[in-house]
Amino acid sequence: MTNIGVVGGGKGGTSILREFSGVEGFKILGICDVNEGVPGLVLAREKGIPTFTNLEELLGQPGLDILIEATGSPRVKELILEKKQASTVLADSQVASMMMSMIESREEAFHKMNNEITAFRTAAPYLTETFEGGVVYFTSNLEEYDYVLNRGLELAGVKVGEKLVERGFIRQCIQTREVVEGTVDQKVYGIRLKIKVFPIFASGDSQRVVGTCGIFLPKIHPVHRAFKEFAPLLANSFPEGAVLLATDLEKITNKQGSDKFDIKGIKEGTKMTAQDAAPQSIKKRAQVVINVNAKAFGVPCQIVSTPLFDEDSNEPIGAFGLIFPRAVAENLREMATKLMASTQEMAGVMEEIASSANEININETNLAEHVQEVQGISKQINDILGFIKSVADQTKMLGLNAAIEAARAGEHGRGFGVVAEEIRKLSDQSKETADQIGKLTRDIDDKIGIVAQASQGSVKQSQEQAAATQEVTATVSELASMAEILSELANKI
């Protein structure tokens, strides 16, 4: 500890007193002046420093190491040299003058710095209302915050007396002596921030930084900033309603339900898990679509999450999400599934019918051919019967001629006449039988003609049925395809 005494309570002595009082490593044992009302003695009494009007009393203070003579009077200097202790070092008026110049320069720099800080602190309250989302103005010395003004934004660790963050933006400003601005990661204060820090220099010395002043602002993504404006309109524009969400990297920051659909269990501030859609989309840096069953939200829903990126760094800072019910889509999907199953079953039945119709068509065609063959055989029978009838007529004629010849022969031709008679009878019977067979074959032929005509009609109808069945089968196949497409669309809705 260095003990100091000051002689002279004028401007110089007052500046020296103010500069050394309270400085670690120095102790002022007292100040002396013949006039008790000079500024130096008044200041000393305010600070609890001993005052003297008798020089010898000050010079007699035990342990006085340095005596600063600030009057500039040769007589005072001589008196000090005559009366001071041998161990006391005299800093005469020239040294004191140099010290006073240094002190005055430092005071001027301090006043300039103080003016800059005062101007900043004066303007800050008027500027806070111009920032949406809150603002923090601050000033600091080289070690800690010495002024903090919050409006709508509280930051843990940014308070008067709090130490500056090591390797932070404020430290960087002090070290580089340049204006520094950047983005404060969410992990530091729990919110993404923009910061701008200005160095405060000593007067006339652009290399010596004596403090800083700056501002913290929330760094808000455009989607977060405009969420309250567009979300209500967008949520109600979906036919079944929707829930809109915006998140940062950890929690849901904004939520908007619709008139038709809302999820009460989701609230702003809710922490997210790794299984949620938003963290997945943030991790993948791409859109994520998740379908959930009714167990999650009471109705089947689809969740669509899209990552949000920082405009400067292009790093993900959150996500924007949509949750909308899929009740209509689910019903549509179930109906499509049932329709697809029914049409597939119908298609199988129609294929069997078509196959049977084709077989019937083939059988009818074969039957028609067989009927035509029977008609041909019937014609051949009629031809044979005609020949038999002709033979019977000729046989009868021969029998008649034989009877005539037997009659001419008399008794000798009687036996031959009996034979001739039998031949005529046989001829008549053959003719009658042939006529009966001819009548029967004509009846058969008529019936076969009817059957043939009916068979031709059946063939035509079976062909038409086969063609119609094929058309129906094709239509059913089309319905099955449409049902499958409908099911796919339902899954995509």
Residues 243 and 196 occupy one common structural domain: no
* pLDDT exceeds 70 at position 95: no
pLDDT for the residue numbered 392: 65
For residue 110, the model assigns a pLDDT of 47
Q: Which residue among 193, 218, 243 closes a domain?
A: 218
pLDDT-based confidence at 339, cuts 50/70/90?
A: low
Is the model's pLDDT at 103 over the cut of 80? no
Domain-terminating residue out of 304, 325, 346? 325
Of 91, 118, 143, the last residue of a domain is 91
Domain that holds residue 15: 2-91
Q: How far apart are CA 412 and CA 459, in angstroms?
A: 69
299 pLDDT band (50/70/90 cuts)? confident
Task: Give, to the nearest 10 degrees, the angle between helix 327-409 and helix 414-492.
Answer: 170
> Is residue 185 assigned to a domain?
yes
pLDDT at 101 (0 to 100): 52
List the Cα angle 177/163/115 in 5-degree steps: 50
- Provide CB contacts within 8 A for 154, sequence distance 6+: none
Examine the domain organization and report whether 150 and 210 are in the same domain.
Answer: yes
**Does residue 169 form part of some domain?**
yes
Which position has the higher pLDDT, 240 or 25?
240
The answer to whether the pTM exceeds 0.85 is no
Predicted local distance difference test score (pLDDT) of residue 441: 74
Residues 339 and 375 in one domain: yes
Res 464: pLDDT = 66
pLDDT, the chain, mean: 79
Give the residue, 389 or 287, on which the prediction is more confident: 287
> Within a domain: residue 363?
yes
pLDDT band at residue 93, thresholds of 50, 70 and 90?
low
Least confident window among 15-24, 406-415, 481-490 = 481-490
| Same structural domain, 285 and 396 | no
Q: Return left, alpha or beta for 159; rule: phi > 0 is left, psi -120 to 50 is alpha, else beta.
A: beta
pLDDT of residue 327: 65
CATH code, 142: 3.30.450.40
Q: How confident is the model at residue 109 (pLDDT cuts 50, 70, 90)?
A: very low
Confidence category of residue 180, pLDDT binned at 50, 70, 90: very high
* pLDDT tens profile 226-282: 888 889 998 898 888 899 999 999 999 999 999 989 998 899 999 999 999 999 999
Instruction: Judge if 152 and 17 occupy the same domain.
Output: no
Distance between CA atoms of residues 176 and 266, nearest Å: 46
> Is 96 within a domain?
no
Q: Lowest-confidence range among 124-128, 209-213, 297-301, 308-312?
A: 124-128
Say yes or no: 127 and 182 in one domain: yes
Q: pLDDT: is 21 or 256 the higher one? A: 256
Q: Residues 149, 214: one domain?
A: yes
Inter-residue contact 212 to 144 (CB < 8 Å): no
Higher pLDDT residue, 105 or 365?
A: 365
63 with 210, same domain: the answer is: no
Q: Which CATH number does the domain housing residue 336 bear?
A: 1.10.287.950
What's residue 320's pLDDT? Answer: 94
The domain total for the chain is 4
Nearest to 490 by CA among 300, 305, 342, 345: 300
The verdict on 291 and 426 lying in the same domain is no
102 in a structural domain? no
Whichever domain contains 234, its CATH number is: 3.30.450.20
DSSP states along 198-259: EEEEETTEEEEEEEEEEEEEE---HHHHHHHHHHHHHHTTSTT--EEEEE-SSBEEEEE--S
Determine which of 129-143, 224-238, 269-283, 470-484 has the lowest per-residue pLDDT on average.
Answer: 470-484
- Indicate whether 301 and 398 sit together in one domain: no
3-state secondary structure of 160: coil
Q: Judge whether 317 lies within some domain.
A: yes
Q: Are residues 122 and 86 in the same domain?
A: no
Instruction: Give me 459's structure tokens.
Output: 């063939």
Domain membership of residue 59 (yes or no) is yes
Is 237 a domain residue? yes
Residue 182 shares a structural domain with residue 239:
no
